[in-house]
Amino acid sequence: MVTLLEALREVTTIDLDAIDVDVATKFSPVQDMTCNQFLVQATLTMPQHAHVLAFAVDEAFRLSNALGVDEKDTISFEQLVVDIASVNIIKEVKPKLHPQGLVLLQTCCSKLDVINEIVNHCEQIVKIFDIYGISSKECCIKVPATVNGLKACKILTKRNIKTLATTVFSTSQALAAAEAGCVAISPYLNELDAHFDRKLYTDYSNPVKESPGVQLTHKIQRYYRSAGIKTQVKAASFIAPIDAVSMAGIDAITVGPTILEGLANTQVSERDNEIIRDAIAASNETELPNATTWLTDNATELTETMNDTNVSRLQRRANEVFTNAEEQLRALARVAILNKKQPHLETL
């Protein structure tokens, strides 16, 4: 009998949404490895990585001048520590990926108000990757698909930095990301809050026919394929294995350990076969998008579509959640910095 994971691998690329060597090894082959601030925090607080932040502090002091970070700028220096720590846990997973696989790290949501700050932080991350042996060809920066985020992606593309537009909730964001030259996008099947409050998650009988997030993702895939757009669809935000099944035929899915376990341990049922057939058909129908340029004229049309009540709500909430996680990471860095500056004194 065929498992769901085996069936999906026949029609969709599987990426790992976790910073975990063991999981990458167990479910090999996986193509890319994606992560965000939540996953970085979860990994850094594991006992086996207890030393990483202390190492990152030492490295931040060593590299700050070369990277243009002022040690007296508290937030920037703390973020440098976080970035160095993030890269060093990520690089452990890189050898377990496909030889052409990318590692993806998300930029700060707190910087989304200023385009140059987004660009500068993405460039800093790429420089740090390079310092620790991962070239710009092997890494990709996840940038939230706000108007400023997508404008930043366009600049970064011209500077040969790979970007993925994440938290995509609309076709306009997807088309603007393609215009910006993003190598991939991540439409969210489920809103972020559904991961914390399962009452917000709906277990559809057939997500391909019922789920707005699933239908949006297939529509984007149809647009891209019909228009010959090279940007990949890398679907994200899975809560149950059935979400992944509904992505059959999509370019790629990035899934965490729990979903991977569920897919690997479940045999394909008649219901699954029906969903897989519907999904493949939905992603391959011909549907051309309207010919529009989204990032010219100060991205006026994109801004208007982003003001759609639901898209605006979902994007704003995603930015809030990731900014909060980002602040928690900097708090971990702050403690590590203080521990270096004020070593523990034994009581006599």
Question: Can you say whether the dihedral through the CA atoms of 39, 143, 183, 201 is positive or negative?
Answer: positive
Number of Cβ atoms within 10 Å of the Cβ of 196? 8
Does residue 204 register a pLDDT over 80? yes
How is 158-176 classified by DSSP, letter by letter? HTT--EEEEEE-SHHHHHH
Phi, psi of 162 (to 5 degrees): -75, 140
In this prediction, residues 40-50 reach a mean pLDDT of 96
Q: What is the pLDDT of residue 297?
A: 85
Full-model pTM: 0.96
> In the structure encoding, which two tokens stand for residue 164, read together?
């993925």
Known catalytic membership, residue 142: yes
What lies within 8 Å, CB to CB, of 67 at 6+ separation is 80, 124, 127, 128
Q: Give the confidence band of 343 by pLDDT, cuts at 50, 70, 90.
A: low
Closest alpha carbon to 316 in 145, 92, 119: 145
Instruction: Name residue, tokens 């006026």.
Output: 300
Taking the CA atoms of residue 332, residue 336, residue 337 and residue 340 in that order, the dihedral angle to the nearest 10 degrees is 170
Give the chain's domains with CATH numbers: 4-300+320-336 (3.20.20.70)
pLDDT tens-digit map of 206-264: 999 999 999 999 999 999 999 999 999 999 999 999 999 999 999 999 999 999 999 99
Catalytic residue among 142, 151, 154, 219: 142
Check if the beta carbon of residue 150 is closer than 8 Å to that of residue 173.
yes
Model confidence at 341: pLDDT above 80: no
Query: pLDDT band for position 319 (50/70/90)?
Result: very high
Average pLDDT, the chain: 96
What local confidence, expressed as pLDDT, does residue 1 receive?
A: 86
